Amino acid sequence: MSTVNLVEKLYKEHNLSDSELKEILLTTDSEVDKTLQKYAQKVRDKVFGKNVYIRGLIEVSNYCKNDCYYCGIRRSNKNICRYRLTKEQILDCCKKGYELGFRTFVLQGGEDFHYSDDDICSIVSEIKSNFGDCAVTLSIGERSYESYKKYYDAGADRFLLREETSNPLHYGKLHPQEMSLENRIQCLYNLKEIGYQVGCGIMIGSPYQTVDDIILDLRFFQKFMPHMIGIGPFVPHKDTDFRDKPIGDLKLTLRTLGIIRLMINDVLLPSTTALSTIDPKGRILGILYGGNVVMPNLSPQFAKENYTLYDGKLSTGKESGEMVKELEKSLKNFGYSIEISRGDTPRK
């Protein structure tokens, strides 16, 4: 079967063998990319229409107790100006975002235990009581089942926690020994059991990753069936050991997105900031390969400048209103528009 036909088979059957998936991921045939885009768009348009969901990203803290080898905010980076937003600052970001039409706020940060469970619950419940028709997504790393349950009971709707890789040996090359893939995956299952809409994900091109690892990740997605999957290229950061490692491949990232859309039709798939960092057209390309979510940054300027996960991370001085207008314009050129709603999972 030709590789183009394999894409059609994936569209129809939502599954392929490992070697067939590998063929698509590594293709050099532009027809394969065209076909993948065509079917990814067809599926996305059928499930979600031409509307792109927006989530307002608020980078709450760049303090982190972890030392992930790839990440610019890892605890051992001494060349970083650490900050942490107060509840009032976070609520202010939400207020500005709400006025611009955002109905989901994503609170993301390093693993910063300065925020106690009570602090997090109080931030979540105040956002929910001030902005009743909004969803709150947390992305604050690994915590206990009990803590996750408290945040859920306080009103948190969704949680993003990338497993980063499904291969324990690969995980060990990206993280110090004190961190374990087992615990991370357990957290994902805990979140799902509690009732969150759960997002997991990986970086494409993280150091030592092989195409077989990506296939293993795809198998994990099929098994775990997350509501969202965050896929972005690895981008090196100058103050990490991986400073000289290459940037993740754009085409490989896009093909992974397209394959995921055909495998799990109703998954929420962001076109990530890292994608737009490595290519000026990255954001729209992500949409053309089946993405249906974008996450504009609502953080205060000082936070945007210091939440430096990787080099070159976009942190324009543009105020959020201008940013949303530009996004609307660029989506419109390709026939898409922004949807003003919480943008929950369509899965029952």
Nearest in space to 78 (alpha carbons), one of 238, 233, 226, 210? 238
Confirm or reject binding of residue 265 to ligand SAM (CB under 6 A): no
**Interface with ligand SAM (CB under 6 A), residue from 48, 53, 70, 148:** 70
Q: Is position 134 annotated in a ligand binding site?
A: no
Q: How far apart are CA 3 and CA 6, in angstroms?
A: 5
Cα dihedral 210, 215, 217, 222 in deg (nearest 10): 180
Stretch that binds ligand SAM, among 4-12, 13-21, 25-33, 106-114 (CB under 6 A): 106-114
Confirm or reject binding of residue 200 to ligand SAM (CB under 6 A): no
Confirm or reject binding of residue 221 to ligand SAM (CB under 6 A): no
One-letter amino acid identity for 221? Answer: F
Closer to ligand SAM at the Cβ: 120 or 274? 274
Query: Could you tell me whether strands 158-160 and 337-339 are parallel, antiparallel, or unpaired per DSSP bridges?
Result: unpaired
User: Distance between alpha carbon 212 and the CA centroid of its chain, in Å?
Assistant: 21
Confirm or reject binding of residue 162 to ligand SAM (CB under 6 A): yes
Helix, strand, coil percentages, rounded to 5, for the chain: 45, 15, 40
**Interface with ligand SAM (CB under 6 A), residue from 108, 165, 167, 190:** 108
Confirm or reject binding of residue 253 to ligand SAM (CB under 6 A): no
The residue whose two tokens read 């709400």 is: 98
- Do the beta carbons of residue 299 and residue 54 sit within 8 Å? no
Smallest separation, CB 161 to ligand SAM (Å): 5
**Interface with ligand SAM (CB under 6 A), residue from 237, 245, 255, 283:** 237
**Interface with ligand SAM (CB under 6 A), residue from 131, 221, 234, 336:** 234
Closer to ligand SAM at the Cβ: 6 or 93? 93
- Do the beta carbons of residue 96 and residue 298 sit within 8 Å? yes
Terminal alpha carbon distance of the chain:
35
Q: Which residues bind ligand SAM (CB under 6 A)?
A: 70-71, 108, 110-111, 139-141, 161-162, 164, 203, 232, 234-235, 237, 274, 309-310
